[in-house]
Amino acid sequence: MVRTIRFHQVGGPEVLRHEDLPVRQPGPGEVRIRVDAIGLNRSEVYFRRGTYLDQPVLPAGLGTEAAGEVLEVGPEVPRWAPGDAVSVVPAFSQNDYPVYAEEAVVPAAALVSRPPGMDAVTGAAIWMPYLTVYGMVAEVVRVRPGDHVLITAASNSIGMAALQVVRQLGAVPIATTPSEGQRDALRAAGAAEVLVTAELDDLAGAIRAATDGRGANLVLDAVGGPWVEQLVRGCAAGATVIVHGGLSGQATPLPAGRYAPVWLRRYTVFEITGDPAALRRGEHFVRAGLATGAFAPIVDRVFDFDDVAAAHRYVDSDDRAPGKPVLRVR
């Protein structure tokens, strides 16, 4: 029996329960791992509320991102062996392979090996943000040196990774944040300009001013909703606006009226993690950045496994420090 976090009804953090449950043996293509740390994402908050991409099958577990050690491999798993230090990347439904537990069974295809010397907390924090950004700037479009790249809600884990990746590619990262208190941290993280949206009456105009009047070449948007129209109006002709999140909680309409021709599309990390060849390319990309020091994962806060409700309240709050919250299991 292992301690597992589940919920029996959708709702707030108070519905989360610690339960002792058995762990099944891994089947074909599966691996059983000891979970040492869990990367926390808003997707788990939305899943718990019943507002995520897929509805929870109650009672439901949580989580798609973790780090730990292989304990047992199932049939048809040639790569992994007990004792391997691994990270789990989001590549499956939380209904099928939840990882909020002391042990979990996950698809072998969703594992990447942890770099030597990397601790579990860091290993639980790196892959989702950097793979998400890799997919947008290398698979969906190709960022070119000198491009102006607008990164919205830039203090979250994906935004912080994007600042580093865009800099590494020779482009110019421009960050948005709703809070003046994040300005210095985003500057220190590599943003060439920081736009505090609470201070702006004309976001499109501010974007154009920050790009010498030319407009953004690429927008990585975590917010969605009606303000996407302002993002589009702040773009150069031929730019791409990628909506990869929905922090606004509102529908994202197709912008109306006249504006420069812009490609607008939605994106999730599953486009990369669900494609073995793309995941392999993304893994090499992230490892190269880690090896040179260009990529430095930023862990925001670490919560104990017993404090999962507090961790969920924090993940869902607007008063967060830059980086990635992590739940430490052991």
The domain boundary residue, chosen from 235, 255, 270: 270
pLDDT band at 179 (very low <50, low <70, confident <90, very high): confident
Average pLDDT over residues 128-147: 98
Please give the average per-residue pLDDT across 31-56, as a whole number. 96
Q: Among 72-81, 150-159, 248-257, name the one with the lowest average pLDDT.
A: 248-257
pLDDT exceeding 70 applies to what percent of the chain?
Answer: 100
Domain of 317: which CATH number?
3.90.180.10
Question: What are the tens digits of pLDDT across the range 274-320?
Answer: 999 999 999 999 999 999 999 999 999 999 999 999 999 999 987 78
The per-residue pLDDT for 307 is: 98
Which of 255, 270, 285 corresponds to the end of one domain?
270
Pairing of strands 16-21, 2-7: antiparallel
pLDDT tens string 235-260: 999 999 999 999 998 999 888 777 88
Same domain, 248 and 140: yes
Q: Is residue 122 part of a domain?
A: yes
Looking at residues 264-270, what average pLDDT do you find? Answer: 96
- Asked, for residue 98, whether it belongs to a domain, the answer is yes
Mean pLDDT of the chain: 96
Q: Evaluate whether residue 278 is within a structural domain.
A: no
Domain interval for residue 245? 129-270
In this prediction, residue 53 carries a pLDDT of 86
Q: Are residues 100 and 144 in the same domain?
A: no
Task: Examine residue 257 and state whether it is found in any structural domain, yes or no.
Answer: yes
Under 8 Å between Cβ of 264 and 232: yes
Q: What pLDDT was estimated at residue 131?
A: 98
* pLDDT score of 129 more than 80: yes
What secondary structure letter does DSSP report for 60? B
Whether residue 120 is found in the same domain as residue 158: no
Contacts of 166 (CB under 8 A, 6+ apart): 137, 143, 149, 151, 172, 173, 190
219 vs 143, 166, 297, CA distance in Å?
A: 11, 12, 22
**Mean pLDDT within 261-270:** 95
In a domain, 287, yes or no: no
Write down which residue in 231, 255, 270 finishes a domain.
Answer: 270
Q: Are residues 46 and 113 in the same domain?
A: yes
pLDDT score recorded for residue 114: 95
Q: Which two tokens stand for residue 223?
A: 């917010």
In the chain, % of residues over pLDDT 90: 90
pLDDT tens digits for range 88-122? 999 999 999 999 999 999 999 999 999 999 999 99
- Give yes or no for a contact between 239 and 148, defined as CB atoms under 8 angstroms apart: no
Domains in the chain: how many in total? 2
The 3-state DSSP composition of the chain as helix, strand, coil percent (nearest 5) reads 30, 25, 40
Cα–Cα distance between 214 and 177 in angstroms, integer?
21
Strands 148-151 and 216-221, sheet pairing = parallel
Q: Are the C-beta atoms of residues 131 and 160 closer than 8 Å to each other?
A: no
Let me know whether 221 and 134 are in one domain. yes
Which residue, 211, 181, 195, is CA-closest to 318? 181
What is the model's pLDDT at position 5?
A: 98
Residue 91 and residue 176 share a domain? no
